[in-house]
Amino acid sequence: MRWSSVEIGSPVVQNTAELSPRTEALRVPLPAIAAAAVASDRPAPDPEALIWAEVNLDALAANVRVLRSHVRPRVRLVAVVKANAYGHGAVPVATTALEAGADGLAVGRLDEAVELRNAGITAPILVMGPVPPSGARRCVALRLTPTVHNLTMAQALAHAARTAGRVLPVHVKVDTGMHRFGLLTDEAVAFTSVVAAIAGLSVEGLYTHFATADADNLTATRQQLADFLDVVGRLRAAGIAPAVLHAANSAATLALPAAHLDQVRVGAALYGLHTTAARDAAGVQLNGERWHASGAPSLASALRPVLTLKTRVIRLRHVPAGTPVSYGGTYHTPQATCLATLAAGYGDGLSVALSNRGAVLLGGQVFPIVGRVCMDQLVVDCRDGRGIQEGAAAVLIGQQGAAALSAEDVAAASDSTNYEVVTRLLARVPRFYHRSHAPTGALHPPNGATMPLPTPSPAPDAVVAAQAAI
């Protein structure tokens, strides 16, 4: 089998398979694509790789800078790198984000923070999920910032901090409508007051999470923000004033400046995954000028996808009309055609829901996935197969020539979300990282000391501004 670049594919021949509406739309005949555009699709860094992801760290750094310029200078930008940085690779992503201007990191679990510390990253790390009492000592030793949600956890953290002769900063999460994790608004003040009185702990931060910030109508999100600020006001009346208030996820960072407060937590936008707010944002302030959905570039167009997913053609075969394909024979070829088997399947993290609905790029054209997606392989109907060779690279997410399939396209075809599409990529898919230049310097010191939190602006100002803008 010879691994090589591919040539131009044949003109589109319509197929009568029942595919997703998005795939149907992508199947319309494409204009001729220059051979050079397709040939420029570089081979895998590992010539023996059958499936691989390419992570563009330059695009990641550019997204950080775009987001950094979208918030006020005093607002801290926290890069969310949980779940292996949404499948992109926690350590390379975290390092690049910090170099590009992120002020800190956020993870979902303790072991994710441990991985970052073991890699020498010393920037502030917020653990947004629960830390079990058995992890309290590691949390203190690694100078992490945990989220406390019950007294058992708080007491374990306090004991570990006192034993180490330290005061551990913690954050308290307020559940204003997500109904998933954190203290309800009617119990948050009493709980936070108790935690603030425990020796060894300092309530540094208070935060919430929005349930519908990516919706067209932000009424519910504004109500969540108002409820959160009400809790902040009641805490201040009780003499407790956390220095760092935060509420905005990616969608709210883009669409609701009132929610920026002292810091924002950006996940999806960091990776160029577009929320509804990003796609529909119009007239947002960016770098001192207004960007609009029509005319000038939108904020969404300024955010670049970071991950490309590729695989290889491992077999080509010409079959007659009526040939059943894959398990269960859920697809029968409507005419004589060429089938390409690709080395990608649900064992790599692709969704079985892409069966008879998804698409791939081959030779700069869009071809439908036919038959059931298997553990290690899937089949594509590539019409007459002209110009396609065994060993050719196929794109599952990304661009090839003038054609493109985004994570949003894949999500639409599989009734999923772009978050899930990239996060579910499994460990056996190697990640290759590329950037045009070496980093100019790290934002975190090399001696293992934790970078101190930048001093936020007075919290009351943030609250007053947010309340005025809701």
Q: Which is catalytic among the residues 173, 327, 346, 433?
A: 327
Q: What is the spatial distance between Cα 266 and Cα 269, in angstroms, rounded to a whole number?
A: 6
Q: What letter represents residue 207's amino acid?
A: Y
Q: What is the spatial distance between Cα 26 and Cα 362, in angstroms, rounded to a whole number?
A: 13
Catalytic-residue membership of 433: no
Catalytic-residue membership of 327: yes
The torsion angles phi and psi of 338, rounded to 5 degrees, stand at -110, 125
Q: Inter-axis angle of helices 185-196 and 219-237, to 10 degrees?
A: 40
Q: What is the spatial distance between Cα 470 and Cα 219, in angstroms, rounded to a whole number?
A: 9
Beta strands at 403-405 and 284-286: parallel, antiparallel or unpaired: unpaired
What do you get for the CA distance between the two ends of the chain, in Å?
A: 62
Can you tell me whether residue 221 is helix, strand or coil? helix
Q: What stretch of H or E contains 156?
A: helix 151-163
Cβ–Cβ under 8 Å, residues 300 and 291:
no
Output the CA torsion 63→68→70→76 (10° steps). Answer: 140
Contacts of 468 (CB under 8 A, 6+ apart): 258
CA contacts within 13 A on the Cβ side of 279:
10
Contacts of 363 (CB under 8 A, 6+ apart): 6, 7, 8, 9, 38, 387, 388, 392, 400, 401
- Among all residues, which ones are annotated catalytic? 82, 327
